[in-house]
Amino acid sequence: MSYQRILLKVSGEAFADRSTGRGLDPDSVHTIARQIAAVSRLGVETAVVVGGGNILRGAKVAGMGTLRASADYMGMLGTVINALALSDAVEQAGVETRVMTAIEIAKVAEPFVRRRALAHLAKDRLVILAAGTGNPFFSTDTAAALRARELGCDVLLKGTKVDGVYTADPMLDSSAQRLPTLTHQEFIARGLKVLDTTAVNLCMESKLPIVVFDLFKEGNIERVVRGESNLGTTIRSES
């Protein structure tokens, strides 16, 4: 394996009904769960940060007049729903899990404690991290970068619906070209939008590489972990 401990960021849309982009689709959840379970069984210590956009986007709700902080807390609860769904599906695939949240919901999940999360990873449990950072105004991308650093991960994997970082949105611009490699500085300077700048800055400070890849192509998580070349986009420090 190219990496021994990974942090995988899975957006809420990955769990959604493909036709509407909303809600929880059992087939989508189980497809992702099978891939994650396969990587975990290879002996790779795996933590997953889940988004909640398929349930509710805080920024969108705030745009309709809700106080932004309240809207963001609502979005955090959406990530907990996804985390519980993923946990159940991964355990059905034969891998033990623990759901940990940045806001305390004692009846359904453990609170995030770094040492406890590390202990779970050491016991080959999949750790699913929900509720972002526990603070409003921060994205789940930033939460993923923060947890990756806290847990000493070798890489941050960002699963998306496109196969890497492009010069422009490939859904809107047919001339957009995929960038196989970038530095953290280049990503920020170009104003690229696949990850937010705060998340990339956090990774840059610790020279943590990021791999952006197509999550919707089955088997890609394992391919990335095995270090297959020409898969997605790798963002790393200049050194």
pLDDT in tens, 27-69: 999 999 999 999 999 999 999 999 998 998 777 787 788 899 9
Q: How many domains does the chain have?
A: 1
We report the CATH number of the domain holding residue 98 as: 3.40.1160.10
Could you tell me the pTM of the whole model?
0.93
**Using one digit for the tens of pLDDT, what is the confidence trace for 156-170?**
999 998 899 999 888
In whole angstroms, give the CA distance from residue 88 to residue 90.
6
| Residue ranges making up the domain that contains 176 | 5-236
% of the chain exceeding 70 in pLDDT: 99
Half-sphere exposure of 54 (CA within 13 A, CB side): 26
pLDDT score recorded for residue 62 = 78
In Å, how far are 105, 115, 131 from 112, measured between CA atoms?
Answer: 11, 9, 10
What is the layout of strands, in order, in the sheet containing 181-183? 110-111, 97-101, 126-130, 45-50, 5-10, 155-160, 210-214, 233-236, 181-183
- Per the prediction, the chain carries an average pLDDT of 93
Confidence band for 110, pLDDT divided at 50, 70 and 90: very high
pLDDT in tens, 180-221: 999 999 999 999 988 999 999 999 999 999 999 999 899 999
Q: Give pLDDT, residue 25.
A: 93
Q: Sort strands 110-111 and 97-101 into parallel, antiparallel or unpaired.
A: parallel
Binned at pLDDT 50, 70 and 90, residue 15 comes out as: very high
Average pLDDT over residues 114-134: 98
Quick one: pLDDT band at residue 239, thresholds 50, 70, 90? low
CA distance 5 to 152: 8
**Sign, CA torsion 16/18/22/25:** negative
What does the pLDDT average to over 139-144?
A: 96
